[in-house]
């Protein structure tokens, strides 16, 4: 019997270690888990002290990075992504790279635009004019990323998980471009792909629930399984805050419904 792999992909402003509780949860259920970081990702403290060391990986480079990782596995994995990672998860499953995918509060795909408030956030949170990275202060993180938790919890989450994100990435997402970005293109018509679950937080201020619902609508004409789960009173931090287990367990239950088991016969 082979253990089914699960690959976790984090999004902007979070570190790969933010998936640790999920890794432990899925491992305890028998899955083989991986949470590879972005290219050039180092320890949280080092990335904060030298915020531009990550360089400027764009969306295509990140997608290629994770596609190569998925291809290196001997068994097609489940791909779980959050935010930008959720967009990448959709790109990978649409390209038949994976057994199933879960996109949590995913960055918008195709012609879906981020809200104007996102562009305003970038303009106020930027590390400095012309800098290749964008940082979130604890105050801004609480206001727009973890807006449904108490100040103290938001402070702890920021301390443990938050790192600067490359500015180029936001340009690839279409921020400030005045229209859809070609980098966010996803083939929503692939009827042969594996099942996909879209998850949203209904109090999310970064990727509003409406954006995730709009993505779900785009999959309406395909015969491939596409499901939507909305969590009330949850923000963009729903994968790392004190309610993370509710989201993780819903994902585990959904995988079971799709026939994805932690162990599968060889071959």
Cβ atoms of 245 and 25 closer than 8 Å: yes
**Is 213 inside a domain boundary?**
yes
**Is 230 inside a domain boundary?**
yes
In whole angstroms, give the CA distance from residue 206 to residue 208.
6
**Is 267 inside a domain boundary?**
no
The boundaries of the domain holding residue 198 are 2-260
**Is 168 inside a domain boundary?**
yes
Q: How far is CA 34 from CA 8, 22, 27, 133, 139, in A?
A: 6, 10, 10, 26, 31
**Is 266 inside a domain boundary?**
no
Instruction: Check which CATH number belongs to the domain holding 93 and give it.
Output: 3.40.50.1820
* Token pair recorded at residue 150: 């108490």
Q: So what's the pLDDT on residue 25?
A: 98
**Is 197 inside a domain boundary?**
yes
Cβ atoms of 2 and 264 closer than 8 Å: yes
In whole angstroms, give the CA distance from residue 170 to residue 247.
26
Nearest in space to 23 (alpha carbons), one of 252, 234, 227, 237: 252
Torsion sign over Cα 25, 26, 32, 36? negative
**Is 265 inside a domain boundary?**
no
Residues paired with 78 in a beta bridge: 6, 100
In whole angstroms, give the CA distance from residue 112 to residue 23.
31
**Is 39 inside a domain boundary?**
yes
The owner of tokens 């509060």 is 105
Cβ atoms of 211 and 103 closer than 8 Å: no
Q: So what's the pLDDT on residue 64?
A: 96
Beta-sheet pairing, 196-201 with 226-231: parallel
Average pLDDT per run of 10 along the chain, which is 267 residues long? 94 96 98 94 84 74 96 97 97 97 95 72 54 84 95 97 88 71 89 97 94 95 95 97 98 97 73
Overall number of domains in the chain: 1
Nearest in space to 163 (alpha carbons), one of 1, 4, 12: 12
């Amino acid at each position: 019997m082979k253990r089914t792999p699960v690959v976790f992909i984090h999004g902007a402003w979070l570190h790969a270690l933010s998936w640790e509780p999920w890794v432990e949860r899925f491992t305890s259920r028998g899955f083989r888990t991986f949470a590879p970081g972005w290219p050039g990702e180092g320890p949280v403290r080092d990335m904060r002290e030298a915020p531009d060391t990550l360089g400027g990986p764009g969306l295509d480079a990140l997608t290629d990075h994770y596609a190569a990782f998925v291809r290196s596995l001997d068994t097609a994995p489940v791909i779980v992504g959050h935010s930008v990672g959720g967009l990448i998860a959709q790109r990978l499953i649409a390209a038949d790279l994976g057994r199933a995918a879960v996109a949590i509060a995913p960055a918008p795909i195709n012609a879906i635009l981020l809200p104007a408030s996102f562009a305003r956030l970038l303009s106020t949170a930027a590390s400095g004019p012309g800098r290749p990275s964008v940082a979130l202060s604890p105050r801004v993180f609480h206001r727009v990323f973890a807006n449904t938790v108490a100040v103290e919890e938001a402070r702890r989450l920021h301390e443990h998980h938050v790192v600067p994100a490359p500015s180029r990435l936001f340009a690839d997402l279409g921020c400030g471009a005045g229209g859809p970005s070609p980098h966010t293109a996803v083939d929503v018509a692939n009827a042969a792909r594996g099942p996909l679950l879209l998850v949203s937080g209904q109090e999310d201020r970064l990727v509003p629930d409406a954006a995730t619902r709009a993505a779900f609508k785009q999959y309406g004409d395909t015969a491939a399984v596409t499901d939507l789960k909305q969590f009330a009173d949850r923000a963009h931090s729903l994968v790392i805050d004190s309610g993370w287990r509710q989201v993780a367990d819903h994902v585990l239950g959904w995988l079971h419904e799709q026939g994805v088991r932690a162990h599968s016969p060889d071959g």
